[in-house]
């Protein structure tokens, strides 16, 4: 792509600073906590109007009485061309009322507000990029389609089936999660995430009068926990954390049951399959105790596959033409990019540059986020990725 087009795109996007801030403000002030989909009407309205303004038709999708997601395609979609997926989410971790305590604000070159960085700023970038393509009358060989879900922060429980289907029918997926760290690294790898629940069934007895007739589920759980922690492998990037435990009835009763919930992070799909097998094969060390183990790797690892690397190289080239020195990194957390990566070329972390995802100091840097909107525009103009 010639440097002249890159310069035109960057100049156009930089002229959209007020459009960026106004849209982020509207999205942030339309509070949208994951656990309350019944109040998402306003954020969907704001998003759909913004997409309509750049020539996209949208519709809502989802199961009745469950979260509603937004899918959008060009109003005048050209036929016979492959598609590329712009993927994001509008739900946040912040409860209703957070905006009163931490209102949207602009401090110089920085936007503050709950959900601004993760990831309503990324949604604004989508709108800016699509608007630049329309305004500059640029040719797009791979047609952008947009899917924005309402439940990413709680594991994309209802939206994964849509994302999986779309990923199998597009040339690539561009995930608008925020960039990583102060340098703004692009996420080319993500760890897989698993959740397991281990329930132990023992036998109750009076702890003072007849302890020998009881079988402590808590004692057995302590052995299981040590087995689980032994699976940690720092060098391989495998982490196994027993995050919560509970059990027993009261202090003078031998515990008849106990439970642990376990978080697992793995760098590769193969590691995830191995960890699943090992955890599900754990056996009790105490006689007359029964273990029930459920769960698995819910979001498989996003690996540095050849097709993902080809997409990353396109981003590097586009960044170079814009004067950006891009870097890549692996993220310990997961996203919907973990899902798309199983089926198509995926690049993640294309969203805002800033800091404080899920934290009270959440913010995004305006000029660097505009640069990323220009980068997204350049990527949307790229030719198809060939497997």
Do 114 and 15 lie in one domain? The reply is: yes
Q: Is the peptide bond before 119 cis (omega within 30 degrees of 0)?
A: yes
Answer yes or no: is pLDDT of 236 > 80: yes
Do 147 and 291 lie in one domain? The reply is: no
- The backbone torsions φ and ψ at residue 235, rounded to the nearest 5 degrees and listed phi first, read -65, -35
Do 288 and 312 lie in one domain? The reply is: no
Alpha helices in 136-268 (DSSP H): 160-167, 217-229
Q: Is residue 385 part of a domain?
A: no
Do 236 and 175 lie in one domain? The reply is: no
Spell 96-133 as b/e; 16+ CB within 10 A means b.
eebbeebebeeeeeebbbbbbbbbbbbbbbbbbbbbbb
Do 151 and 199 lie in one domain? The reply is: no
Can you give the residue range of the structural domain that contains 206? Answer: 192-299
Do 200 and 288 lie in one domain? The reply is: yes
Answer yes or no: is pLDDT of 145 > 80: yes
Overall domain count for the chain: 2
Answer yes or no: is pLDDT of 251 > 60: yes
pLDDT by residue (tens digit) across 90-128? 999 999 999 999 999 999 999 999 999 999 999 999 999
The half-sphere exposure of 190 on its side-chain side, counting CA atoms within 13 A, is: 28
Q: Residue 264 belongs to what H/E stretch?
A: strand 257-266
Do 163 and 227 lie in one domain? The reply is: no
Average pLDDT of 178-205?
96
Answer yes or no: is pLDDT of 387 > 60: no
Whole-model pTM above 0.85? yes
Average pLDDT of 260-277?
97
Do 17 and 89 lie in one domain? The reply is: yes
């Amino acid at each position: 792509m010639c440097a002249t087009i890159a310069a035109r795109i960057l100049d156009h996007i930089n002229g959209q600073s007020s459009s960026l801030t106004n849209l982020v403000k509207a999205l942030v002030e339309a509070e949208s906590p994951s656990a309350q989909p019944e109040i998402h009407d306003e954020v969907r309205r704001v998003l759909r109007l913004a997409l309509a303004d750049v020539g996209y038709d949208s519709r809502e999708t989802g199961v009745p009485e469950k979260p509603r997601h937004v899918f959008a395609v060009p109003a005048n979609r050209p036929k016979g061309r492959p598609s590329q997926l712009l993927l994001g989410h509008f739900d946040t971790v912040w409860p209703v009322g957070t905006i009163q305590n931490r209102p949207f604000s602009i401090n110089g070159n920085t936007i503050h507000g709950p959900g601004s960085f993760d990831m309503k700023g990324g949604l604004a970038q989508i709108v800016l990029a699509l608007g630049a393509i329309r305004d500059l009358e640029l040719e797009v060989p791979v047609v952008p389609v947009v899917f924005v879900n309402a439940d990413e922060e709680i594991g994309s429980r209802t939206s994964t089936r849509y994302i999986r289907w779309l990923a199998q029918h597009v040339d690539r997926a561009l995930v608008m999660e925020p960039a990583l760290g102060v340098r703004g690294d692009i996420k080319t790898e993500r760890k897989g995430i698993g959740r397991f629940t281990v329930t132990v069934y023992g036998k109750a007895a009076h702890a003072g009068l007849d302890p020998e007739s009881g079988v402590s589920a808590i004692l057995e759980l302590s052995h299981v926990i040590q087995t689980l922690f032994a699976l940690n492998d720092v060098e391989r990037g495998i982490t196994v954390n027993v995050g919560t435990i509970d059990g027993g009835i009261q202090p003078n009763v031998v515990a008849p049951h106990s439970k642990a919930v376990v978080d697992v992070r793995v760098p590769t799909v193969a590691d995830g399959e191995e960890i699943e097998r090992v955890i599900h094969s754990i056996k009790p060390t105490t006689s007359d105790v029964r273990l029930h183990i459920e769960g698995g790797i819910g979001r498989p690892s996003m690996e540095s596959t050849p097709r993902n690397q080809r997409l990353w190289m396109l981003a590097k080239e586009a960044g170079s033409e814009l004067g950006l020195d891009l870097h890549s990194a692996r993220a310990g957390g997961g996203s919907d990019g973990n899902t798309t990566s199983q089926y198509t070329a995926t690049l993640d972390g294309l969203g805002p540059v800033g800091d404080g995802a899920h934290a009270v100091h959440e913010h995004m840097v305006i000029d660097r986020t505009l640069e990323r909107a220009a980068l997204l525009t350049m990527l949307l103009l790229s030719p198809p990725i060939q497997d």
